[in-house]
Structure 1
Amino acid sequence: MSTAPQIDIDVAAFWADPYPALAQMRREAPIAFVPQLGSTLLCSRDDIFVSEKQIDVFSSHQPGGLMNRLMGHNMMRKDGEAHMAERKAIAPAVSPKAVRLHWLQQFQAHADRLIDAMDPSEDVDLVRDFAMPFSAECLKLITGLTNMRFQDMNAWSQAMIDGIANYTGDGAIEARCHAATAGIDAAIDDMLPVLTKTPDASLLGVMLASGMPIESVRANIKLAISGGQNEPRDAIAGTVWALLTHPDQLALAREGHVPWIQAFEEYARWISPIGMSPRRIAKPWIIRDVAFAPEERVFLMFGSANRDETHFADPDRFDIRRDTSKSIAFGAGPHFCAGAWASRAMIADVALPILFARLKNLRISETEPVRIGGWAFRGLLNLPVMWDECRH
């Protein structure tokens, strides 16, 4: 165990709203051991920004970690040449050029279809009726698993997310994660003959064409689903919610004074959809007089880094005019999110402008309160909305 000061948390309160506890840690112990999570947390933006690049110390390779055990050994849990080889293999599916040439037009078609299907006379939940299916349909295209239902894509992604954040060892959560990975394996098996015979630009297609071992292919598809579904889903609904509750800022975006991408980037700073990334200490190390021992677990708290007062004035305030260049919502260093360009296109190029352009007077409904939760992964659980008419 590290020599970091110990800070206790209420796990339920931390799930409901981690930011007060994270602010306390930044003030009192930017590196703190939290016994309820069994880990040492790095909460300072600068400590995380530097440490994530020191892969010889803060290793992503975690043979006994939850992700490896539940989802297989994917590129996120590899370092150095092993990581870069797999990252290079998937690049043709998720590069900015690939997004522009292969996916953007299809993203737009899915968004329009889903908006056409929503009826303002009914109770509409923007998470359930748009953000979730839109993210899932886009992810089906990118992964190559077009044989899946969007409902399964979402449910299996959530089950894996819950599984790899299951640091309290809940057996029911682990069982749901195993069921999800079995379902994904079956979907991959169905598509293997198709994409082996006729490769396409999807992740499954390019990985098979690269000659990547099938177990690595499976692990990386599960990685793409675990992060590629919840982050866009949560960021779409969350950014809409943030803008609707800050109408002056929504006006800036709608009138073109601030681009939609900036609204998304500020939301991803303010409410980091991916709030934490775990690391394994590979060798003895010292930061700020805190000594780390080999094999202990460390959490890089992106959600804390993005509210670090030394880089962001009034960090608890949502402000799309803010300079977000210091945000590390997508990570930093060699493990910067490979799907960042696809996410930005889905959210800032498609979902946000289409929703606000087509749904006249879009607003939050008072049928039920908006709920939000999570700390390792954080997002809206619902977003009841209404509008006056749908423009075409």
Structure 2
Amino acid sequence: MSTAPHFEIDMAAFWRDPYPALAQLRRDAPIAFVPQLGGTVFAARDDIFVCEKNIEVFSSHQPQGLMNRLMGQNMMRKDGDAHMAERKAIFPSVSPKTVKAHWTAQFQAHADRILGALERHREVDFCTDFAMPFSAECLKSITGLTSMRYQDMDAWSQAMIDGIANYAGEPNIEARCHAATAGIDAAIDDMLPVVTKMPDLSLLSVMLQAGLPMDSVRANIKLAISGGQNEPRDAIAGTVWALLTHPDQLALVRAGEVSWMQAFEEYARWISPIGMSPRRIAKPHAVRDIALDVDDRIFFLYGSANRDEKHFERAERFDIQRDTSKSIAFGAGPHFCAGAWASRAMIADVALPTIFSRLRNLRLASEEDVRFGGWAFRGLARLPVTFDRPDH
């Protein structure tokens, strides 16, 4: 059992706005046992950056973990050679070269088509009317599950996210997760004959070409959907909201003084869409004189690390001109997000510049209706916007 000091969290308040509690953790107890989570949290950026690379102690292999039980054992829940073998298998699909030469054009086509339909309206919920379908359509292309509906991609992703964060063991949440994974398995079965006959650069195809067992193929497709839908979806909507509420900073991007990539990277630091990553203690260890025992549950709080005052001056502010090189929004060490290049291309190379060039005079329709939520995964639930129609 961890000897870390106990830190009580009001989970409802933490879900609405985790940042006051995270700031208190960094100040008073950067390593603390949180009874409500049944685990020890790491809140300081440097502790996380160092410990995440120490896979001999902070293991991703969690045989009894929720992700393994609900989604199958994917590469995120493996370490060492087992992890690297599966990471190598998917690399041809998500490498920087493939993203630039193959996927970016498809991302652009999805953005143009969806925005073309939106331009006929005066007011939309940007979360559900652009960010969600755009992210899902891009993910359909990358995974190879092109027979899915984008609505199912989003719903099944959310159901899995809820399932693997269901530390309270709510049976209805687990049931929705099981239904989602069954739907994904059916979508994989639907596309197997297609990619077998005509191999391509999709994740499904490259894993089959690499000879991965079907259990690993299925588990890694589910991993790609669970993280690959919500992170771009939430980052797109969130960065649009951040720029609209900071018009001086939007002006800097429009003038070419700051890149769209810088705007996205700062948003991912400021409001980390993926705010937490769990680990299991594989052997006795001590950090800051705090003893950790085998099988202790650990939570690396990226959302806290990215607001660590030791590395980010006025960390609570959105500032696209700041140096974000110390951000760990995509993780650190061997488990650095394999989809980072695809995500950056979707958001910074395609979505953001296309949104602000096509939707004239884009603005918030109602600040009161903008709603954020979550701590392990954080994003906007609603973003009402309006813009000038092309014929006006």
TM bucket (normalised to shorter chain) is over 0.9
Q: 1:390 to 1:161 in 2, by over 3 A?
A: farther
Please give the per-residue CA displacement for 1:207-264, whole angstroms capped at 9, x wherever unaligned: 0000000000000000000000000000000000000000000000111100000000
Percent identical: 76
Please give the per-residue CA displacement for 1:340-384, whole angstroms capped at 9, x wherever unaligned: 000000000000000001111100002851000000000000110
Q: Is the 8 A contact 1:370 1:381 kept in 2?
A: yes
Aligned to 1:92: 92
Q: Is the 8 A contact 2:3 2:290 kept in 1?
A: yes
Amino acid of the structure 2 residue aligned with 1:259: S
**Separation in structure 1 between the aligned mates of residue 90 and residue 298 of structure 2, nearest angstrom:** 28
Does the residue aligned with 1:363 lie in a helix, a strand or coil?
Answer: strand
What displacement does 1:121 show?
A: 4.1
Aligned to 2:168: 168
Aligned to 2:254: 254
Does the residue aligned with 1:148 lie in a helix, a strand or coil?
Answer: coil
Aligned to 1:328: 328
Amino acid of the structure 2 residue aligned with 1:275: G
The residue correspondences of 1:84-163 to structure 2 (distance < 5 A) are: 84-119=84-119, 121-163=121-163
Amino acid of the structure 1 residue aligned with 2:339: G
Aligned to 1:271: 271
The residue correspondences of 1:6-21 to structure 2 (distance < 5 A) are: 6-21=6-21
What displacement does 1:11 show?
A: 0.4
Aligned to 2:384: 384
Amino acid of the structure 1 residue aligned with 2:157: S
**Separation in structure 2 between the aligned mates of residue 135 and residue 121 of structure 1, nearest angstrom:** 20
Q: Is the 8 A contact 1:368 1:384 kept in 2?
A: no
**Separation in structure 2 between the aligned mates of residue 126 and residue 371 of structure 1, nearest angstrom:** 12
Amino acid of the structure 2 residue aligned with 1:365: A
Please give the per-residue CA displacement for 1:9-30, whole angstroms capped at 9, x wherever unaligned: 1000000000100100100000
What displacement does 1:8 show?
A: 0.2
What displacement does 1:389 show?
A: 2.8
Listed as ranges, the gaps of 5+ residues in structure 1 are none
Q: Is the 8 A contact 2:122 2:388 kept in 1?
A: no
What displacement does 1:168 show?
A: 1.1
The residue correspondences of 1:1-392 to structure 2 (distance < 5 A) are: 1-119=1-119, 121-366=121-366, 369-390=369-390
Amino acid of the structure 2 residue aligned with 1:220: N
Amino acid of the structure 2 residue aligned with 1:356: F
Amino acid of the structure 1 residue aligned with 2:378: R
Q: Is the 8 A contact 2:121 2:389 kept in 1?
A: no
Q: Is the 8 A contact 1:120 1:386 kept in 2?
A: no
**Separation in structure 1 between the aligned mates of residue 48 and residue 157 of structure 2, nearest angstrom:** 26
Number of aligned positions between the proteins: 391
Does the residue aligned with 2:360 lie in a helix, a strand or coil?
Answer: coil
Does the residue aligned with 2:63 lie in a helix, a strand or coil?
Answer: coil
What displacement does 1:138 show?
A: 0.2
Q: Is the 8 A contact 1:39 1:298 kept in 2?
A: yes
**TM-score, normalization: structure 2?**
0.99
What displacement does 1:390 show?
A: 3.8
What displacement does 1:161 show?
A: 0.4
**Separation in structure 1 between the aligned mates of residue 210 and residue 375 of structure 2, nearest angstrom:** 36
**TM-score, normalization: structure 1?**
0.99
What displacement does 1:119 show?
A: 4.3
Backbone CA RMSD of aligned residues:
1.0
Does the residue aligned with 1:361 lie in a helix, a strand or coil?
Answer: strand
Amino acid of the structure 1 residue aligned with 2:81: E
Q: 1:390 to 1:76 in 2, by over 3 A?
A: farther
What displacement does 1:100 show?
A: 1.0
Does the residue aligned with 2:237 lie in a helix, a strand or coil?
Answer: helix
**Separation in structure 1 between the aligned mates of residue 276 and residue 52 of structure 2, nearest angstrom:** 12
Please give the per-residue CA displacement for 1:162-198, whole angstroms capped at 9, x wherever unaligned: 1011111111111000000000000001111111121
Amino acid of the structure 2 residue aligned with 1:273: P
**Separation in structure 1 between the aligned mates of residue 133 and residue 318 of structure 2, nearest angstrom:** 26
**Separation in structure 1 between the aligned mates of residue 97 and residue 367 of structure 2, nearest angstrom:** 42
**Separation in structure 2 between the aligned mates of residue 121 and residue 185 of structure 1, nearest angstrom:** 36
Q: Is the 8 A contact 1:120 1:388 kept in 2?
A: no
